[in-house]
Amino acid sequence: MLLYLRLLSESFSFAINALRNNKLRTLLSLLGVTIGIFSIIAVLAAVDSMDKKIKEDLSDMDMNTVYLMRFSFGPSEIPRWKRQQFPDVTYDEFEHLRRSVNGIDKMSFNIFTRNENIKYDSKTVNSIRVKPSTFEFFDIEPVKIDKGRLFNESESNSGSPVIVIGSEVATGLFENSDPIGKKVRLYGQRFTVIGVLKKQGQGMFGDSNDIAVFFPVNFLRKMYGDNNKALTPAILIKPEKGIDVEEFKAELAQKLRSYRGVKTGEINNFFMNVLSGFTDFIDNIVGQMNMIGWIISAFSLLVGGFGIANIMFVSVKERTNLIGIQKALGAKNKFILFQFLFEAIILSLIGGIVGMFLVWIIALGLSAALDFEFVLSVSNMLIGSGLAAFIGLISGIVPAISASKLDPVEAIRSGM
């Protein structure tokens, strides 16, 4: 054990001397390892941060929630031309399914539409997210109220002109004054502000409720009807806990097929998107991004490996005389082999540590500049360190073997 500790100490000393005595050559050679480790850890950190943010954004929602609509969240085997012929879900279908399907906990009718501008007196907030829905939506996607209240069942069914606004919308329109009871204009109509949401922060997909407004979906239906192509309706269904989701989806599909008159043998003319399936789709994308990052970074690591090997061959050449003296004094081949291997690993680790340090600095800067937390996890740092050590081991093995096989007499003579 003491032998290996001495080897590590000597190898570390030789590695530091290599950096000190041949600064430019060593730094240029280590640059490949630094860039390679930086690339891999940066990709892993970015992907992990994105994955963490997505999971946090979806954490308040039931992963078994079904989005019933004419579009699919992910890739579909159904041809595009056929998907374009699918009809939108309707409010009548929403009411029919609510009455006839068993195992429903909560269910809401929502409309997805383009962003709009909202006004109060002379002030305008542009490009806000408009989220018309029935009152049950707040039980499916929980929101936190800062002031006032959410709209109730009576207001939802009648399509009352009441509105709940996000924190940034409230700040933009009313600054420090109380928004509750004030009249705002949206779609050229007046809405009474009844609630303000607590600040949420930026979502992964830019979907923060801070820049959103909620109002009864029936208000929009009264304005535009149910056949406006600028509107995309969806039925959100949260099944009861403990229920078999696949059986629930099968009953849901059967009821809607029957209501629409879809014949036996024909495909469903709607999609049942489940959030758990969406997270699986995201996980697949995350895995592909990681793989692409590894492939790109591998080229930098390959260059870095050649750089380390070059340093070690030069180091063997410069210390040939010393190797001969060590062997003449009784040093075994294994001692020489490990000495150079440890030196290669230490040099590579130095390059890897620099790469990880750069990722850490950039992550801190981006986290401070953006409303997004970049995570440099311990596991990623261990991956970077292990990879750097592996590159050093592979790159140093050939020079180390060549050094360990030197004849002591010839080594001393050639070094003189």
- Tally the domains of the chain: 2
The answer to whether residues 259 and 300 belong to one domain is no
User: Does residue 201 belong to any structural domain of this protein?
Assistant: yes
The answer to whether residues 48 and 113 belong to one domain is no
Query: What is the Cα–Cα distance from 348 to 124, expressed in whole angstroms?
Result: 57
The answer to whether residues 39 and 142 belong to one domain is no
Tell me the CB-side half-sphere exposure of residue 111, using CA atoms within 13 A.
27
Residue 277's pLDDT is: 59
Tokens of 304: 């870095």
Residue 409's pLDDT is: 66
Residue 159's pLDDT is: 92
Residue 194's pLDDT is: 95
Look-up: residue for tokens 């009474």?
192
DSSP-derived 3-state class of residue 166: coil
Residue 170's pLDDT is: 92
User: Does residue 78 belong to any structural domain of this protein?
Assistant: no
Tokens of 222: 């009264």
Tokens of 284: 């697949």
Confirm whether pTM is higher than 0.75. Answer: no
Residue 94's pLDDT is: 93
The answer to whether residues 325 and 259 belong to one domain is no
Query: What is the Cα–Cα distance from 150 to 165, expressed in whole angstroms?
Result: 10
Residue 289's pLDDT is: 73
Residue 19's pLDDT is: 61
Query: What is the Cα–Cα distance from 116 to 179, expressed in whole angstroms?
Result: 19
Final residue in a domain of this structure, among 203, 237, 269: 269
Residue 204's pLDDT is: 47
The answer to whether residues 161 and 22 belong to one domain is no
The answer to whether residues 116 and 25 belong to one domain is no
User: Does residue 213 belong to any structural domain of this protein?
Assistant: yes
Residue 184's pLDDT is: 94
The answer to whether residues 34 and 92 belong to one domain is no
Domain that holds residue 128: 87-269
233 pairs with which residues across the strands?
111
Q: Are strands 162-165 and 212-216 parallel, antiparallel or unpaired?
A: antiparallel
User: Does residue 69 belong to any structural domain of this protein?
Assistant: no
User: Does residue 274 belong to any structural domain of this protein?
Assistant: no
The answer to whether residues 262 and 296 belong to one domain is no
191 pairs with which residues across the strands?
184
The answer to whether residues 358 and 398 belong to one domain is yes
DSSP code at position 206: S
Q: Per-block average pLDDT, block size 10, for the chain (416 residues)?
A: 66 65 70 79 78 66 81 81 88 92 92 92 91 92 89 93 94 90 93 91 65 94 83 91 87 92 89 73 72 74 76 73 72 72 80 85 78 74 82 80 73 60
Residue 228's pLDDT is: 79
Residue 276's pLDDT is: 64
186 pairs with which residues across the strands?
189
The answer to whether residues 260 and 293 belong to one domain is no
Residue 168's pLDDT is: 92
User: Does residue 73 belong to any structural domain of this protein?
Assistant: no
Final residue in a domain of this structure, among 245, 269, 293: 269
Residue 285's pLDDT is: 73
Percent helix, strand, coil in the chain (nearest 5)? 60, 15, 25
Look-up: residue for tokens 């979502």?
203
Final residue in a domain of this structure, among 269, 292, 315: 269
User: Does residue 71 belong to any structural domain of this protein?
Assistant: no
Q: Which residues, 6+ apart, have CB-to-CB distance to 339 below 8 Å?
A: 7, 10, 11, 14, 400, 403
The answer to whether residues 99 and 213 belong to one domain is yes
Q: Which residues, 6+ apart, have CB-to-CB distance to 325 below 8 Å?
A: 408, 412
The answer to whether 160 and 190 have CB atoms below 8 angstroms apart is no
Residue 60's pLDDT is: 58
The answer to whether residues 139 and 188 belong to one domain is yes
Q: In terms of Cα–Cα distance, which of 211, 194, 195 is closest to 203?
A: 211
CA angle, corner 237, sides to 235 and 242, nearest 5?
A: 170
User: Does residue 336 belong to any structural domain of this protein?
Assistant: yes
